[in-house]
Amino acid sequence: MSAKNTTDNPESGHRFQRLQNDLAQLINQTPPGSRLPAEPELAQKLGVSRATLREAMRAYEGQGLIRRRQGVGTFVVPQAKVIDTGLEVLESIETRARRIGLNVSMGALQISEIVASVEIAETMHIKEGTRLVQVSRVIHAENRPVAYLIDVLQQNALLEEDLTTGFTGSVLDLMLKRGNPRLAKSFTDIQAVAASQEIARKLEIQRGDVLLLFVARLYGESGEVVDYSTSYFLPGYFRFHVVRRVESPMSY
């Protein structure tokens, strides 16, 4: 049963909601760290197909309540600290995590040289084919991957020794600490996306699971795009909000 079917058919939607309620009750009754029944057993117990069961479990994995490990099973995870932050100020995951006492670490760092595609060239206002540096890495919180970050930078924006000596995962923090280039502002597009097979593998989730996607351009004081970044976040470990002021209606 697909998510589309549950919304098109009211009765199917009600059955799917009951399934999610049953799963929530089972998760709440299972001690953290314990494994849930195997999928065939659990699907039979709940009276649904394995495909429908997996669809229902996605929401709880996205919330960080369970973790599915291929070939091992599905485990209930301890209640994780959530990085709850506003978007008015640009900050790194490390800075936000430190504020709430959450231990984060970097894994699977990859540094490579690429040439600017048409899309990247237009976004960074550079010539197509310009040589750039791409920095990709997974960020872990409480021993599980929660974010996958990709930064594309001008070759002179970061030195090789910057990324190979003491780099903990945040390109932003590294540039702020160095003070060069001087940074001015960031423009970010935010949307929800389904995890591709590649991203799902890096974050140890199922393909199609929902992620928060941030695509950002970080500008220097001279107006140049210093960093073009793509960031994937597991919703269960991040909560973003925006504070907006209320304008009085104009009088005519």
State the pTM of this model. 0.77
Residue 110 tokens read as: 């990859």
Residue 130 tokens read as: 């310009």
User: For strand 83-86 and strand 238-241, is the pairing parallel, antiparallel, or unpaired?
Assistant: parallel
Q: Compute the distance between CA of residue 174 and CA of residue 226 in angstroms, rounded to an integer.
A: 13
Residue 136 tokens read as: 């990709």
Per-residue confidence (pLDDT) for residue 126, from 0 to 100? 94
| Residue 170 phi, psi dihedral angles, 5° rounding | -105, 110
Per-residue confidence (pLDDT) for residue 5, from 0 to 100? 45
All structural domains of the chain: 3-76 (1.10.10.10), 83-241 (3.40.1410.10)
Kindly give the residue spans of alpha helices, DSSP state H, lying in 153-230: 160-164, 171-178, 197-203
Per-residue confidence (pLDDT) for residue 10, from 0 to 100? 55
Per-residue confidence (pLDDT) for residue 249, from 0 to 100? 76
217 three-state secondary structure? strand
Per-residue confidence (pLDDT) for residue 215, from 0 to 100? 97
User: For strand 183-194 and strand 210-220, is the pairing parallel, antiparallel, or unpaired?
Assistant: antiparallel
Q: Angle of helix 50-62 relative to helix 10-29, nearest 10 degrees?
A: 60
> What does each of the 252 residues of the chain score in pLDDT, given as a tens digit?
334 444 455 566 678 888 888 888 888 888 888 889 988 898 888 888 888 888 888 778 777 788 877 778 888 877 767 888 888 889 999 999 988 888 899 998 999 999 999 999 999 999 999 999 999 999 998 778 999 999 999 887 777 777 777 788 899 998 998 888 899 999 999 999 999 999 989 998 878 888 999 999 999 999 999 999 999 998 878 888 888 888 877 655
Q: Compute the distance between CA of residue 217 and CA of residue 67 in angstroms, rounded to an integer.
A: 32
